[in-house]
Structure 1
Amino acid sequence: MELTGAQIIIECLKEQGVDTVFGYPGGTILNVYDELYKHSDEITHILTSHEQGAAHAADGYARATGKVGVCMATSGPGATNLVTGIATAYMDSIPVVAITCNVGVSLLGKDSFQEVDIKGVTMPITKHNFIVKDVTKLADTIRRSFYIAQSGRPGPVHIDIPKDITALKTEYEYQKPEEIHPQTDEIREEDLDKAVQLIARSERPFVFVGGGAVLSGASEELKQFVDKIQAPVADSLMGKGAYDGRSQNYTGMLGMHGTKTSNFGVTECDLLIVIGARFSDRVIGNSSTFAKNAKKIHIDVDAAEINKNIQCDCSIIGDAKVILRKLNARIEPLDHTDWLNHIYSLKQTYPMTYHKDVLTGPGVVEKIYAMTGGDAIIATEVGQNQMWAAQFFKYDRPRRLITSGGLGTMGFGLGAAIGAKLGCPNQLVFNIAGDGCFRMNMNELATASRYNIPVIEVILNNHVLGMVRQWQTLFYDQRYSNTILNDKVDYVKVAEALGARGIRVTSNEELGPALKEAMESDGPVVIECVIDCDDKVWPMVAPGASISEAFAEEDMQNGK
C-alpha cells in the first residue's frame, strides 16, 4: 500500500513492537506527530518538559525493560537537546533509537531556520546514524536502525528525516523484525581452552562483572560459573545485579569508591576473570599496578575493548551468556575454600559503615532497601547520591539500578525513572538525587505530574555539590569554589508547584513514615532529606593511586 513517510515511520515503530515514545513536537516533525495522534491507541506518546528529558526517559525505559527506547524531537535546538541523552546511552551501551526531523532536502546546508547538521553532531556518540533523503529507503533505514541498536554491543542509533520526506508517498509492506542473535562468530575454541587452563591452575581466582553481563542476560550462567570455580565476585557500577548482591561471595563494587574487600581481593588474586567490563579508569586506578600479580581473562562482545586499557593474558570475544555457558560445560568443579575464607575475613574486617545517629545518604538508601525488601527499581543522578545507591542497596537481579555510568550525566535520573516506571508499571521506582542534580532537570517532575506517574524522587539535600565538595575537601585544601548551594530554594514548594506531593525529612524518625506515604501514593512524590554538607562517600581511592590504597574515614582519623 502507498503511505506517506510519516505514516511509514509509525508503521515501522509498530512493526518493532514499540508501545511508548518520549518526545517534544516542533515544526519539522509535525507530520509525524499528526500520525501519532491518529495512532494514540497503539503508541503512547509522553510529552516531556525538555527534549533531554525525552532522551533520558527512553534510556531509562530501555535499561529497565531490555527493549529499545525511542525518543523524538524536531530540528535545530530540539535535536541538539537530545545530544546529552544520546551520549549517555552511548557510553553505557543502551539501545535507543532517536528520531529527529530536519528542514526539507532543498533547504539543507543553507542555514535555514532551525537547521543543524545533527547527523554530523551525533556521529561520535551513536553506534550508527542516518539521514534519509529518499522516502523509498525510509522503512528499511528504520528497520536497520532497530537491528543495529540491539545487536552485538547495543547502543543508540539516530535517524534524521527531512520534513518533505515525511510528506512524500511510497509503497510500504509490513516486514517482521529481523531476529537478534547473540554474537558468537568470534568465539574461538582455543580461547576457551586457554581460559579453562588458566582457571584450573588458579588458586586465588576473582570474578569482576560489568554491564555486559546485564545486557546479555547472563545472570544464571554467571552464578553457575562462580559456584563451579568458587570465586569471590565484584562488580562495576554498570554490572550491579548481574550477580546477586546478597550472596556471601559478593564483595561489592571495585574501584575508586569500591569496597576495601574488592580492592584488596583483586590486588591479591592470581587470576582476574573480567566479564563484560571495559576497565574504566574509575575501576582500575593506577593501571600499572592494577591486579599486577594476576593473570587476566577478558570476556567481552566488543573486540575493541580487548587490551585497550589493560593487557590481558586471554580474551574471548562474543556474547557473555553464550561464553559462560560454554565455559561451564568445560570446567570441573574447583575447591578454593581457603581463598574464600580469606575474602570472608576481609568482609568482616572492612565492613561498609556510616554514622547511624543522624540522617545520612547511606542511611536513607538502606531504609529504602529495608522498606522495599529490595524489590524496587532505583534510578540515580550522579555523584555522592549515585555511589550511596550503589553501595547500600543490595541488587539481587539485573536491570534494577538505572544510572549514568560512563558519561556521569547530572539530571539523568528523573527522566530515566519516568521511563523505567512506564516500562515496568508494576514496580516501585525511586530516583535518588542530590540537590545539585535535581536542579538540572527538575522540570520533568511536571511530566510525572501530567501523566500521574508515581515515581518517588528522593533528594539528598546537603546544600552543596557533594562529590565536588568532597574532592575540594580532600585534594584542594577546602577551597569550596562554586559548590555551595545554600540558597532560598524550597524543594517541597517546588514539588507542589509542579503538581507533586512534597515531604521534608530532617531526622531518621521522620524517614520511615515519609517513605511509607510515598510508596502508597498513586502519583509522584518528592522527599527532601536534609543531610550534612560534609557527608562523604567512603571508601575512596585518590585519583591516579592504586586501588590497594583505598582509604576510609577511620584511616584519615588515624592519620593513615
Structure 2
Amino acid sequence: MNTRAAAADNGDAAAATPAPAPAPAPAPTPVNGARWLVQALAAEGVDTLFGYPGGAIMPFYDALHGAALKHVLVRHEQGAAFAANGYARASGRVGVCVATSGPGASNLVTGIADAMLDSVPMVIITGQVATPLMGTDAFQELDVFGMTLPIVKHSFLPRSVDQLPEMLAEAFRIARCGRPGPVLIDLPKDVQAGDASHLPAHAPRPVEPVAGPADASLHAAAALLAQAQRPVIYGGGGIALAGAVETFRDFVDRTRIPTVLTLKALGALPATHPCNLGMLGMHGSRAANHAVQECDLLLVVGARFDDRATGKLAEFAPDARVVHLDADGCEIGKLRAADVAVQGDLDTALARLAPPCAAQARNGRHVAARKAWLELCNDRRHRFAARYDAPGDGVYAPALLKRLSELAPDAIVSCDVGQHQMWVAQHCRFAHPRRHLTSGALGAMGFGLPAAIGAQLQDPQAQVICVSGDGSFLMNVQELATVARYRLPVKIVLLDNQALGMVRQWQELFFERRYSEIDLSDNPDFALVARAFGIEAISLDRADGVDEALAALLAAPGPALLHVAIDQAANVWPLVPPNHNNAQMLDADEVSSLPTTTPAAPHPTPEDPSHAIPA
C-alpha cells in the first residue's frame, strides 16, 4: 500500500469527522438577595464579619461560600457581637456580625446593647422567618426588631429584595454618622432567596460631617475660660469618636489646664503628660477627684456626667461653672446644666478655642493663679501616686499590670468587667483611646476575650492582650476555640482570685461582710483548659516570677494564656462610696469608718464539706 496515499486518506477521513462541540459555559450563578447583600458588604468596605449560621440565615451563608469576605466562626452568638464590637472599637470602622433568627438573634442582644451604650458603630444582620410566616409563632421566630428597639440607632425589616439597596446604604451611613451606634437588619428568609438580578450594584453613601459649633458659643466659652483661675478639663469618650485626639492633645499643650479623663478617654492624653491627673470618679485618682471638686470652671469635652464619674451628682464640682462641648446636643444639660453649651464637631471646637485660650494662659490676668493651680494639682499627682511595693510573696495585680504595660507599651488591651478592669484603668498606660477596649456603660462580663479576637482581626500585626478575671473569663470561655482555630496571637492575662471580686469587695464594705454567692473556689485549672484548646499556658503565683512570666507570655509565637493566682482579699483603691462626693475617697486604711456590725465570714474553701459542690 502507498504510504502517502494512506496518510492522505486518513487525513481526509479526519477532516470529514466534525470537531466536538465546545462544552457549554456554566450558567451564571443567579443573584438572589443574599448574594447581592454579600457583594454589597464588600463594596461597603467590609473585610471581616463574625457569626454563627442557622436555619433562617442559610441563604446568606450559602452566598458567603467562595466570597472574598472573611467570615469568622465564633462558638456563641454573643461572641460574634462582642468580636464585631472589639473590631469596631479598635479600628474605628463598622463592625459586622451575623446570626440566625430566634435564639441566634437573642444571643446577640447583650453585645448590641454594649455597642449602643458605648457608641460603637456596628451593623447586625439577623435571619428571620419568611414573610408569610411572620406573626404565626413559626419555628425560631422572634420579634428581634421590637426586642432591640431601645438599644439600636435604627432597625430595618425589608419585605422585598427591592428594599435592599436603600436599606444597606442607610444602615452603614447611620451606624457611622454623628454619634455612632448599632443598626439592625432583620432579614426574612424569602427576601434572602428572592431574585435580585435587577438590583443595581451597591454604592456606599457618604457620612455627613458633624456641623461645627456656632461662633457665639465659642466666644462665650472663651470668655468664661478667661475668667477662670482653677480650670479643669474633663475629657470623655467623645474625643476618640470625633477623631479629635491630636487636637485635644494640642489644646492641653497650649493651655496647660489640668486634665482628668473618663474610663473611655484613657489614652487621649499621654499618661506622663504634666497636665494629666488621671481618671476621675469612683476608682479615679485622688489628684483627679480633688481637682474636679475644687475647680472653678469645668471644660467638659465629649463626656456625659456618668454616675461612675461624678459620684454624688448634687455635690460634683460644686463651685464650677460648666462649658460643655459635645456633638450630641442631647447630652448637654442632661445631668448638669451648662453655663455655655458648645454643640458641634469636637475637633473643630477645640481647634478654634485653642488660640484664645492659649493666649489667656500666657498673658491673661490669672496667669499666676493658674500656674499655682497646676503646681498644686501636680503636687497631688506625685504625692498620691500609686505604690507598688506590696508586702508578701504573692502577686500584686496592680504591679503586674504596670509591668505588663511597660513591656508592651503599644498593645491593644481588651479587658472584662470587675476589679481587674479598674486595675487596668488605673495602672496600664495607653497610647490612644482605641488601644483600651472596655465595656464602659453596660459593664458586660464576658466582653474581653471576644473583643480581643475582633481587635486582632482588624490588624493581624497588632499586639493584642486580653486581661480578664476568673468570673468574666468563664462567661465566654468557648471563644478559646475561635482563637485556636484561626491561630490568633492573642495573649490572655487571667487574674484568678477564686471569687466575684468586685461583688465581694462591695459585700465586704457596704453589706456588713455578708458574702453571698461570690465563691468561685471550684474554678477549673485554667492552664489545663487553655492547653485542651491547643493554647500555650503559663501559671504564676509568686511576685518574684512576674517578669519572667510576662516575658514568656509576650514572646509566645501564637496564642498564650498566663494564669495568675492573686489574693482574694485584695481590693481596688481608692474608692468613692455610694452617695458620696468624689472628695470622700476611701483607702484600705480608712475602711474602719464604714459600718461593720457582723464579723467577717470565712471564705469557703473546697476542703470545707459544708460548701461541697454536689456532683
Same fold (TM > 0.5) = yes
Query: Is it true that 1:313 corresponds to 2:333 in the alignment?
Result: no
> 2:283 matched to which residue of 1?
257
The Cα of 1:189 is off from its aligned counterpart by: 1.4
Partners in 2 of 1:201 and 1:306 — Cα distance?
22
DSSP 3-state at the match of 1:38 = coil
Matched, 1:5 2:33: yes
Structure 1 match to 2:199: 172
Q: CA deviation at 1:413?
A: 0.5
- Once residues 98 and 420 of structure 2 are traced to their aligned partners in structure 1, the CA distance between those partners, rounded to angstroms, is 29
Q: Is the 8 A contact 2:228 2:297 kept in 1?
A: yes
For structure 1, which runs of at least 5 residues remain unmatched after alignment? Answer: none
State which of 377, 393, 411 in structure 2 corresponds to 1:343: 377
Counterpart code for 1:360: Y
Work out which of the residue numbers 458, 465, 489 in structure 1 matches 2:493. 458
Equivalent residues of 2:232, 2:291 under 8 A apart: yes
* Matching of residue 353 in structure 1 with residue 381 in structure 2: no
Look up the match of 1:288.
314
Paired residue total? 556
- 2:256 corresponds in structure 1 to 230
Tell me the residue number matched to 2:12.
none
1:296-329 alpha-carbon deviations (Å, 9 max, x no partner): 1111111111111111111111221121112124
Distance 1:558 1:159, change over 3 A: closer
TM-score, normalisation: structure 2: 0.88
1:365 paired with 2:375, answer: no
Q: Distance in 2 between matches of 1:4 and 1:244?
A: 51
Question: 2:255, 2:354 within 8 Å by CA — same for their partners in 1?
Answer: no
Tell me the secondary structure at the aligned position of residue 169 of structure 1: coil
Correspondence 1:129 to 2:165: no
CA distance in 1, matches of 2:101, 2:427: 42
One of 14, 19, 23 as aligned partner of 2:51: 23
Contact map agreement 1:257 1:541 (CA 8 A) in 2: yes
- SS of equivalent residue, structure 1 residue 362: helix
- Shift of the 559–123 alpha-carbon distance from structure 1 to 2, 3 Å rule, reads closer
Q: Residue in 2 aligned with 1:202?
A: 228
Structure 1 distance, partners of 2:100, 2:87, is 21
- SS of the residue aligned with 1:484? coil
Q: CA deviation at 1:352?
A: 1.7
Counterparts of 1:44-55 in structure 2 under 5 Å? 44-55=70-81
Deviation by residue 1:371-395 (Cα, 9 ceiling, x = unmatched) = 11x1101000001010001110111
Match of 1:105 among 107, 117, 131: 131
Cα displacement string for residues 95-139 of structure 1 (whole angstroms, at most 9, x for unaligned residues): 011001100000001000000000001110001111111210112
Pair 1:184 & 2:218 matched: no
CA contact (8 A) 2:264 2:433 kept: no
TM-superposed CA distance for 1:250, in Å, is: 0.5
State which of 166, 180, 191 in structure 2 corresponds to 1:140: 166
Secondary structure of the 1:273 match is strand
Identity of aligned residues (%): 42
Q: CA deviation at 1:330?
A: 4.0
Aligned partners of 1:23 and 1:51 also within 8 Å: yes
Matched, 1:118 2:153: no
In 2, distance between residues paired with 1:103 and 1:60? 29
Q: Residue 149 of structure 1: which of 175, 199, 209 is its match?
A: 175
C-alpha contact 1:21 1:43 (8 A) present in aligned 2 = yes
Pairing 1:413-424 to 2, within 5 Å after superposition? 413-424=448-459
Which runs of 5 or more residues in structure 2 are unaligned? 1-27, 362-366, 596-615
Contact 2:231 / 2:299 at 8 angstroms: preserved in 1? yes
8 A Cα contact 2:260 2:278, kept in partner = yes
- Cα root mean square deviation, aligned: 1.6
2:117 aligned to which of 87, 91, 94: 91
After the TM superposition, which segments of 4 or more aligned residues of structure 1 sit over 6 Å from their partners? 557-560
Q: Tell me the equivalent position of 2:22.
A: none
Look up the match of 1:301: 327
Taking the aligned partners of 2:158 and 2:531, their CA distance within structure 1 comes to 44
Amino acid at match of 2:400: V
Give, in whole Å, the separation in 2 of the partners of 1:348 and 1:558.
26
Question: Aligned partners of 1:31 and 1:326: how far apart in 2?
Answer: 51
Question: 2:525 maps to what in 1?
Answer: 490
CA contact (8 A) 1:19 1:43 kept: yes
**2:469 touches 2:494 (CA, 8 Å); kept in 1?**
yes
CA distance, structure 2, for counterparts of residue 181 and residue 128 of structure 1: 17
Match of 1:517 among 552, 559, 571: 552
Contact 2:165/2:202 (<8 A) preserved: no
How far apart, CA to CA, are the structure 2 residues paired with 1:303 and 1:355?
A: 46
Which of 530, 539, 549 matches 1:504? 539
Counterpart for residue 81 of structure 1: 107
Q: Measure, in 2, the Cα distance between the counterparts of 1:471 and 1:378.
A: 26
What's the CA shift for 1:559?
9.1
1:446 to 481, 499, 508: 481
Deviations 1:249-273 (A, max 9, x none): 1111110000010000001111101
Q: Deviations over 1:272-301 (max 9, x none)?
A: 011111110111111111001011111111
Secondary structure of the residue aligned to 2:238 is helix
CA-CA distance at 1:546 after TM superposition:
0.4
Q: Secondary structure at the match of 1:516?
A: helix
Partner residue, 2:439: 404
3-state secondary structure, aligned to 2:162: helix
Partner of 1:163: 189
1:245 matches 2:266: no
Q: Which has the larger radius of gyration?
A: 2
